[in-house]
A = this chain, B = another copy of it.
């Protein structure tokens, strides 16, 4: 039972969507790192809601307030704790949901698991709002990685039927990743944003929502990283990525497309290039046997459509055990994929730092 992750660095996330505050503790972060708070806040803002019609109308300041572990802007080596106040909470919206679980949300299994004691307002601890502390932790981790030449960036590779396909797994530049990693609507092809936004706006007008896929890459990783068998880069990244609400699939390199391939096309051949071992393709996403092979680390995650849709849905009353029809009200994202890009990058940064340290 754990909102804690990491082996060498531990991230402990706390808070509930409509409680007093959310935050995290980062234990084991290296001492002596000068934090660039502008970069941290840029990532926080990238995730924050309320910026345009593609996201929820709820506005949050999401300003991280550090309580410990940083002295005069430099990490001290002791646990870094951070709190974000919840200021904009309209709890009234949720009062009638206590006994009637919203389809697609954690409401029903959480009710069973916690015996009805969990804070249902806004999804409580299961809310997407809890990704804010994760983005904070990732922003710190990223600064240490960048000093080691490791750059992380992700793009929206699909929303509904629209795909951003011009991402070459074996030819990833640091310029591209740096640009993606500050983009509020990160795509490789510049023309694809308009099409994707149209899909989202269409869902919003129908009071519906839409899912997508995020593809993430990291370059600068040396070959040979990752543990044996159950402690590989794939195992550790996937465990952390499934901790992001709404993620329902994780694949490395060609992933599920491997099923259609034969070995002779799937294998990534080698050549010597500038005196170093190089790969001629990157179907394996930079990972062989769970260990980095020096090619760019590339993986993608499936994000399901926001379950909060304002159409009538069949549900049940857990107290009377009778059928009910539920119409979810409140302010919701018609598509969380654009905001989730920063979260996927943050999780990746944290896990990679934990592996490297």
Contacts and interface: CB of A to CB of B under 8 A. Distances in A.
A62 interface: no
Interface string A232-275: 10111011101101011111111111111111101111111001
Contact of A224 (B67, B71, B113): B113
Given A258-B248, A266-B307, A3 B79 contact: yes
A75 B124 CA distance: 13
Contacts of A243: 229-230, 232, 235, 290
* Stoichiometry, copies per complex: 4
A31 B113 CA distance: 9
Interface stretch (A39-47, A145-153, A155-163, A181-189): A155-163
A31 B213 contact: no
A232 B247 CA distance: 12
Interface stretch (A53-61, A170-178, A315-323, A338-346): A315-323
Given A31-B118, A113-B291, A239-B236, A104 B280 contact: no
Interface residues of A, number: 146
Contact of A262 (B108, B209, B284): B209
Given A108-B223, A211-B263, 8 more contacts: A4-B4, A5-B230, A20-B68, A75-B117, A77-B118, A108-B270, A161-B260, A251-B256
The 10 closest A-B pairs by CB, nearest first: A106-B289, A249-B251, A78-B125, A209-B263, A104-B267, A112-B224, A109-B291, A2-B231, A77-B114, A249-B255
Interface of A: 1-5, 7-10, 12-16, 19-23, 25, 27-28, 31-32, 66-69, 71, 74-81, 83, 101, 103-110, 112-115, 117-119, 124-126, 130, 158-161, 203, 206, 208-213, 222-232, 234-236, 238-240, 242-243, 245, 247-264, 266-272, 275, 277, 280, 283-285, 287-294, 302-309, 311, 313-316, 318, 321-323
